[in-house]
Every structure is written in structure tokens, then in C-alpha cells.
Copies of this chain bind each other. A is one copy, B any other.
Amino acid sequence: MTGRNTADIPASTIERLPQYLRCLLELQSMGVPLVKSDRLAGLCGSNAAQVRKDFSYLGELGTRGIGYEVSALIEHISELLGVKERRRVAIVGYGKLGSALHGYAGFPERGFEVVALFDVDPAKVGCTFDGIRVFHVDEAPRVVNELGIDIAIIATPARVAQLAADAVVEGGVKAILNLAPTRLVVPEEVDVRQVCLSTDLQILSFRIAQQEGSR
């Protein structure tokens, strides 16, 4: 770390860091050692000024006229995002959505390791899928604690999502990614991100309606 306080980094910059990291990893895999802000901006769908501004919060990383060192940037952003060491993740609700997420290649690539699955279906509890065991949700307080799980992804039906959240919070998760279409109530220190695909569709629908109206 540069010694800068990460609390000074604007939320909008943080929201863009994962995208920068993805593009930088792509460049690294192509053997590119240095990248200028305009090229990186092109890859990320941003602009060069934005890239330079965002990176200015990360410390002295670039050299004028030469660009940024790809590997140094990857190192730095990974450290900031807390994904240098792998984060242990649990998936709660192992239906179609939960199992689709378990197979999602993006997670291990980005530093997330699924280490436990939870469900209530007796046909699944005790089974292993791709080497990962399904526990009963009632065991979540113990298992989350023992395996040091930081993040739970909730992929249950909406009506049981709060129970699932309560169980993993009791086990000590620090954050929840909620895919169930319902609002969760959790202690203040637990961070929740809500993924709501219906909301995304409605926002798209609004924009279509706007376009239709303007014709």
C-alpha cells in the first residue's frame, strides 16, 4: 500500500476498479507490459481523463508518456479490492441459480473460492458437487465460522432468504450478495449488495418506453 487512506477513494472510483482489473488481466494475458490511459480507457469503455483521475487516488503509479506498468497496477488494485488473498464464499440455496453460480468461471478467476454450499433439500444435503459439500442451512452458523467464510451469496427463494441471511450472519459473514428478490435485514456491520434482475429489466423497459414515446 502507498499509505494513502482507502477511505479517501470515492465510491464511484471503487465501482470502476473491478472493471479496470478485468481489462488489466486481459492485457497481461496478452503479454502487454505497459498501458497508456487512453488505451485502457478504450478497453474499459471509459475515457483517459477518468482513468488518470481514478488512478490518482491509488498513488504514483504511472509515468507521463510511457504509461502504467500492467503488473504493478494489477498488484495494487487486487490488494485494494482485498482479492490478493482468496476470499472464501458460500452459496446458500443450491437450486438452478445456486448451481449456475457454483459453475461460474468468473469467481475463481477474480479471487473468490466457493468453499461451502447450503440447502434444505434432504436429497442434496450431504452430497458434494465439484468437490464442495452441501450442508443443511441449520448448520450454517457453525460451518461459516469454522471455514472462515467472508461472503455468502444468497440464491434461495425470496420467502426463506431472511432465514438464510440470519444463519450466515450468525456464523460471522462480513458481506452478503443477495440474489433473492427481497430486502434483507442484517446488522449494520454486515454489508449487503442486492442483485435484482427484475429491476434491471424495468430500467431497460423505461428507456424503451421513452424511445417509443419520442418517436
Residue ranges of A at the interface with B (Cβ–Cβ < 8 Å): 6-7, 14-15, 17-19, 21-22, 45, 80-83, 87, 89, 95-97, 99-101, 103-107, 109-112, 150-151, 153, 174-177, 181, 183, 189, 191, 193, 195-214
Contacts and interface: CB of A to CB of B under 8 A. Distances in A.
8 contacts: A18-B202, A81-B205, A81-B209, A97-B104, A106-B198, A110-B198, A112-B205, A151-B205
Contact of A96 (B18, B81, B96, B150): B96
Contacts of A22: 181, 198
A204 B112 CA distance: 11
Instruction: Please tell me how many copies of the chain the complex holds.
Output: 2
Q: Is the interface of A mostly helix, strand, loop or mixed?
A: helix
Contacts of A19: 199
Given A177-B197, A195-B197, A198-B107, A82 B205 contact: yes
A191 B175 contact: no
A81 B99 CA distance: 32
A183 B42 CA distance: 11
B18 A203 contact: yes
Contacts of A203: 14-15, 18, 81, 193
Given A174-B211, A175-B208, A177-B204, 17 more contacts: A6-B213, A17-B206, A18-B202, A81-B206, A82-B210, A89-B201, A96-B96, A97-B97, A104-B197, A107-B198, A107-B201, A174-B208, A176-B204, A177-B197, A177-B200, A195-B195, A195-B200
